[in-house]
A and B are shown apart, each in its own frame.
Chain A
Amino acid sequence: SLPVGSVCVPTLATTDSKNIFQYTSDKSISSPSMNSQVLHSSLPSSKTMHGFFSAFCTEENIEQSISYLDRELTTLGFPSIYAESKGKELNLISIINCMNELLVLQHKNLRAQEEVEMQHLKLGSDMDHLQNCYAKLKEQLELSKREIVGLQERDRQLQNKNRNLHQLLKNEKDEVQKLQNIISSRATQYNHDMKRKEREYNKLKERLHQLVMNKKDKKIAMEVLNYVGRADGKRGAWRTDKTEARNEEEMYKVLLSDYEQRQKQLLVENAELKKVLQQMKKEIISLLPPQKQKLKERSEDGPVLSDLEEDIGELNKENMWELSCETVREQLTNSIRKQWRMLKNHVEKLDNQVSRVHSGALNEKDVISREDHEMETEKLELEIQQCKEMIKTQQQLLQQQLMCPCDDDTTVLLQDCYLLEERERLQEEWRLFREQRKNFEKERRSFTEAAIRLGLERKAFEEDRGTWLKQQFLSISTDYKRSENVTTPSAFLGSSDQDSRLLKSTSQQRKPRCMLGGPVSAEPCQISQYIAHNSSSAALRKPVGDSKPNQWVESDKETE
């Protein structure tokens, strides 16, 4: 270790020593004391204002400053700079270490200071920013508050207005009600007054009427030159109950005929409308695509309702619509409504499809593409064109055919041909017609003959019947005469050609009387009359020709 007094200036600061010396020892350069030299050389070589460094240690207080420094360092935890604890010799190494430590510390502190300053700046700017935001928000809040207040004010005003209007409306309504009440009360009042006046007026009228009637005014009369006939030429009639009843009847007839006429008109109208509905229904059904209809039917109606549809189908047959019962009408209208709805759905679907096509989403199955459509139409047009041409050529050929024969004879002949053909056909038909007519004539004749014959036969038959009956009577009477030979009616019936001959002769005799030749149907009546007549007469009479049957019939009755 070096003595305190003799400190060599280390080579550390040789470069700057001069500077230091010059720098630091402005005042006392001429007397270089050890302290000042030592101290001067240990200072850091920064060019910045270290002028005050010389203020701490001067030549006079070197020892004090050293001991002060030592004290400070030891309190800071550095080892002492004295070589010994009591001596005045300085431990250079420890001094250097301390200096290094101090430098390091200084660097650290500087860095820390920088950081702190940085952070400080940052915080400062943050703070500014936050303050700005805060100020802005505060402003906004103020604004919003003011707005709210304004809106509230407006709301209040509007509510007031609303309330006022409601009030006005209520007032108006009340007034209207009041006025109506007033009107009605006035009306009743007027009616009452009117009635009172009317009653008074009626009384006056009655009085006047009495006076007029009482006066027996000769003046109230009608003078007429002569009475005129009635417009319809009939005589006047008294008014009786009968006429009253007739009038009632007439009135009801008039009413009834009017009602009947109206009903007829309504029926006609009804029938027409029903026809129209039927037609519409058919057309709607035809418009709808068939499978869809079936599908719809299957999906919409259940199995029960499809029966109904069948029934409706039956009812829709031609003459059923003439029925005018409720159910038929309802069914008809319901079915039309249903069909119409289906048609509407169908049309809507088509519309949708069309719109989809327009928007580009093609469903190729359902929709024919436009090109195909156009191709089809072109094809059809071509076909039409071809057909037209063909028709034209045909027409031309026909014309040629007709016009072709160059000489008139052939044309005439041709025409004649046609005419001849026609004529022959007509002749044929005429012949047939004539034949038929002849046949009809023949048949008619035969029918008439047959009818005549039939008539004659019938006449003859009736004659026979008459004669037979007479024969019966006669035979009955002859039977009575020969009473022993009473036979059964059958035998009586069966017997006697003789009797019949007898009867025939008698019948011939009695012909004019009994009018046998006359109307056939009258005969049996005549005879029955005879019987009746005869049965009523008690006594047996003997008129010339007629008595026989009388007796015999009576006796017949007696015997029976």
Chain B
Amino acid sequence: MNFSELFKLSGPLGRFSPDGRCLASCMQYRLVVRDAGSLQILHLYTCLDQIQYIEWSSDSLFILCAMYKRGIVQVWSLEQPDWHCKIDEGSAGLVASCWSPDGRHILNTTEFHLRITVWSLCTKSVSYIKYPKACQQGIAFTKDGRYMAVAERRDCKDFISIFVCSDWQLLRHFDTETQDLFGIEWAPNGCVLAAWDTCLEYKILLYSLDGRLLSTYRAYEWSLGIKSVAWSPSSQFLAIGSYDEKVRILNHVTWKKITEFEHPATVANPKTIVYKEVEKSPSVETERLSFPPTRALANSLFSTQSKYAISEVPLSLHYVKPAADRANPKMGIGMLAFSPDNCFLATKNDNIPNAVWIWDIQKLKLFVVLEQLCAIQCFQWDPRQPRLAVCTGNSNVYLWSPAGCVSVQVPVEGDFPIVSLSWHSSGDSMVLLSKDNFCVCYLEREEVK
């Protein structure tokens, strides 16, 4: 593993381009585009105000920079650095901005969610979508970029509109049986839309592309409900994480629950492997190593400060009971992610903030628990293989694969509290972000059989 040096960052906004050639990062009001391999600065753009959000277009030719305070979105071209585009929402304000899947339209959500304006970079036309819903995931694009689903709210009722992205024609408009629609997400096959209700009510609805209600699922009443949702990459499974510390998996044939994954504070099954991060006294030199390590190496020391040790099961994990009188309590399943080969599901129970639970989907059983010393900030699967990168707010990055687990310290001077990470599309490198800096980690590719 090689690490680059630290670069300055604000945001924390750092993103690889979809084609993997460039890395964009923000420094206050400047947008810096670097080459992904050498990290040489390719372009430097200056925006009018502090950038709050950047997004690459799908063809990696444009980047949008959104400045919510000023209500401006600026778009930069990589092919023609002289080209410029500024969208000013004026008094309408701006709370969110994103690209359309074809990379030629920008959807701006104005303040108070008054409307969504669709600005076109190709023509002079402007479209408006009225009554968008102010919720966590109100806009969802299908993976192939053909259709867009928008959550709407009119007359105190929730609706979903499905638009065709090529000409922004309204395809379907139907109401949902939700109290307060919280989020929508397309299945990767683009044929099923999942819509779930606010956490006060556990309800998830599955709609077909043509607006028919396929199924409704309610696990229980009254207690706090759904916290996070994830589709498996093959669209076979829908994982629902809820406030009762369980993940329920629905199958795509009958839309019924096939299993429940519990996250108790005590891991009892002797077949589960528990990797516990353990502090180790620092040694003099840091070793460069290749990944993934063999099982024999998994236990041995790699980083200078901490390493993994296999713990004996049964084992008690550090359990935190949140304050009962606060809203949005830190409990339940807050993070869910499927591995790209469909074989694993990584979850985090906010009641046990230091642990990552990895479930084997082929056997529908708990496979591995990673217990860290600090609270988990972020984890993300390698887009090519079943490899999970985890960061916990210190300057270590943790990698798990079925072969083993490794903890690597980023060799930098000073503090580098990693709060977020993002893989390169090839899976060969990833960018590690802290609040003020970022660093790119290059992983040597090893031919693993």
> Which A positions have Cβ atoms within 8 angstroms of B?
180, 183, 187, 191, 194-195, 198-199, 202, 205, 208-209, 212, 215, 217-232, 236-237, 239, 243-244, 247-248, 250-252, 254-255, 258, 266
B46 interfacial by beta-carbon distance below 8 Å: no
- A190, closest chain B residue (CB): B200
Which of A180, A187, A220, A223 counts the most B-chain CB atoms under 10 A from its CB? A220
> Which B positions have Cβ atoms within 8 angstroms of A?
58-59, 62, 75, 77, 82-92, 102-104, 112, 114-115, 119, 121-126, 146-147, 153, 155-156, 164, 166-169, 171, 179-180, 189-191, 200, 208-210, 222, 253
Contact (A212, B91) CB under 8 Å given A248-B171, A251-B209: yes
Q: Tell whether, in the assembled complex, residue B92 and residue A254 are in contact, meaning their CB atoms are under 8 Å apart.
A: no
Which of A180, A187, A228, A236 counts the most B-chain CB atoms under 10 A from its CB? A228
Smallest beta-carbon distance B140→chain A, Å: 16
- B252, closest chain A residue (CB): A262
Given contacts A209-B114, A230-B104, could you give 7 more A-B pairs where the C-beta distance is less than 8 Å? A217-B92, A219-B88, A222-B119, A228-B122, A231-B102, A243-B167, A251-B171
Residues in chain B near residue A208, CB distance under 8 A: 112, 114
Q: Tell whether, in the assembled complex, residue B90 and residue A219 are in contact, meaning their CB atoms are under 8 Å apart.
A: yes
Q: Which of B77, B103, B114, B189 contacts A231 (CB 8 A)?
A: B103
A223 to B190, CA, bound (A): 34
- B74, closest chain A residue (CB): A223
Which of B119, B169, B200 counts the most A-chain CB atoms under 10 A from its CB? B169
Q: Tell whether, in the assembled complex, residue A205 and residue B222 are in contact, meaning their CB atoms are under 8 Å apart.
A: no
Q: Tell whether, in the assembled complex, residue B122 and residue A229 are in contact, meaning their CB atoms are under 8 Å apart.
A: yes
Which of A215, A232, A258 counts the most B-chain CB atoms under 10 A from its CB? A258
A109 to B146, CA, bound (A): 139
Contact (A220, B89) CB under 8 Å given A236-B123, A254-B146: yes
Q: Tell whether, in the assembled complex, residue B102 and residue A230 are in contact, meaning their CB atoms are under 8 Å apart.
A: yes
A208 to B200, CA, bound (A): 30
Which of A205, A229, A232, A254 counts the most B-chain CB atoms under 10 A from its CB? A254
Q: Tell whether, in the assembled complex, residue A251 and residue B147 are in contact, meaning their CB atoms are under 8 Å apart.
A: yes
Smallest beta-carbon distance B178→chain A, Å: 12
Q: Tell whether, in the assembled complex, residue B115 and residue A219 are in contact, meaning their CB atoms are under 8 Å apart.
A: no
Smallest beta-carbon distance B57→chain A, Å: 8
A198 to B125, CA, bound (A): 32
Nearest first, the 5 A-B pairs at minimum CB distance are A219-B90, A220-B90, A224-B85, A258-B191, A217-B90
Q: Tell whether, in the assembled complex, residue B156 and residue A195 are in contact, meaning their CB atoms are under 8 Å apart.
A: yes
Q: Tell whether, in the assembled complex, residue B169 and residue A243 are in contact, meaning their CB atoms are under 8 Å apart.
A: yes
Residues in chain A near residue B88, CB distance under 8 A: 219-223
Q: Tell whether, in the assembled complex, residue B122 and residue A191 are in contact, meaning their CB atoms are under 8 Å apart.
A: no
Residues in chain A near residue B92, CB distance under 8 A: 212, 217, 220
Q: Tell whether, in the assembled complex, residue B85 and residue A225 are in contact, meaning their CB atoms are under 8 Å apart.
A: yes
- A252, closest chain B residue (CB): B210
Smallest beta-carbon distance A219→chain B, Å: 3
Residues in chain A near residue B156, CB distance under 8 A: 195, 198-199, 202
Which of A219, A221, A231, A255 counts the most B-chain CB atoms under 10 A from its CB? A231
Q: Which of A191, A205, A225, A227 contacts B179 (CB 8 A)?
A: A191
- A204, closest chain B residue (CB): B112
Contact (A239, B169) CB under 8 Å given A195-B156, A212-B92: yes
Residues in chain B near residue A229, CB distance under 8 A: 122
Smallest beta-carbon distance A216→chain B, Å: 10
Q: Tell whether, in the assembled complex, residue A222 and residue B85 are in contact, meaning their CB atoms are under 8 Å apart.
A: yes
Q: Tell whether, in the assembled complex, residue B119 and residue A231 are in contact, meaning their CB atoms are under 8 Å apart.
A: no
Q: Tell whether, in the assembled complex, residue B124 and residue A227 are in contact, meaning their CB atoms are under 8 Å apart.
A: yes
Residues in chain B near residue A227, CB distance under 8 A: 121-124
Q: Tell whether, in the assembled complex, residue B121 and residue A219 are in contact, meaning their CB atoms are under 8 Å apart.
A: no
Q: Tell whether, in the assembled complex, residue A247 and residue B164 are in contact, meaning their CB atoms are under 8 Å apart.
A: yes
Residues in chain B near residue A212, CB distance under 8 A: 91-92, 114
Residues in chain B near residue A215, CB distance under 8 A: 91
A224 to B102, CA, bound (A): 18
Smallest beta-carbon distance B134→chain A, Å: 10
Residues in chain A near residue B85, CB distance under 8 A: 222-225
Smallest beta-carbon distance A144→chain B, Å: 53
Residues in chain A near residue B167, CB distance under 8 A: 236-237, 239, 243, 247
A191 to B119, CA, bound (A): 36
Q: Which of A194, A202, A236, A247 contacts B171 (CB 8 A)?
A: A247
Which of A183, A252, A255 counts the most B-chain CB atoms under 10 A from its CB? A255
Residues in chain B near residue A247, CB distance under 8 A: 164, 166-167, 169, 171
- B209, closest chain A residue (CB): A255
Smallest beta-carbon distance A53→chain B, Å: 112
Residues in chain B near residue A255, CB distance under 8 A: 191, 208-210
Q: List 18 A-B contacts (CB under 8 A).
A: A194-B180, A209-B114, A209-B115, A217-B90, A217-B91, A217-B92, A222-B88, A223-B84, A223-B86, A230-B104, A231-B104, A236-B123, A236-B125, A247-B169, A251-B209, A255-B191, A255-B209, A258-B190
